Amino acid sequence: MQLLPALLFFLAPITLALPVDTSPIDNPLEIRQSGSITCGSTTYTSSQVTGARNSGYNYVKQGGTAGGSSYPHTYNNYEGFDFLVSGPYYEFPLLKSGAYTGGSPGPDRVIFNGNGQRAGEITHTGASGNSFVGCSGTS
């Protein structure tokens, strides 16, 4: 019976000395944005938002735009959103019916940076003038 307390006394300092993983979450943005996103009264799935971001980022990498439009183009963040990734930022239309290929962009946008990292989603719906407000999850 005396062996057990002696063993615990010996093992306790070793256990306390073991390394503990204190690294930050690998990608807090994707965790925050893993569910659906609502812009005004329109709800998008995470897959729809990711598809729009991927499409926009592909145009940035290739140096082109969608269907002769100006998208994707630089987003200057005049509204001062608190994105979790650093810029420069680009905006690209967010549609329910697939990837934007030109024409009317609608009110909703996905924002991403020059590395293709998703920054957030914004909308003209509920904003004054040509400004934007954040969709759910974007502040």
Q: Is 79 a catalytic residue?
A: no
Residue with tokens 């569910």: 35
∠ CA 116-29-136 to the nearest 5 degrees?
Answer: 105
Catalytic residue among 30, 73, 79, 121: 73
Catalytic residue among 30, 79, 121, 124: 124
Catalytic residue among 30, 79, 91, 121: 91
Q: Is residue 58 left, alpha or beta, with left meaning phi > 0 and alpha meaning psi from -120 to 50?
A: alpha
User: How would you classify the pairing of strands 89-93 and 42-44?
Assistant: unpaired
Give me the active site residues, please.
73, 91, 124
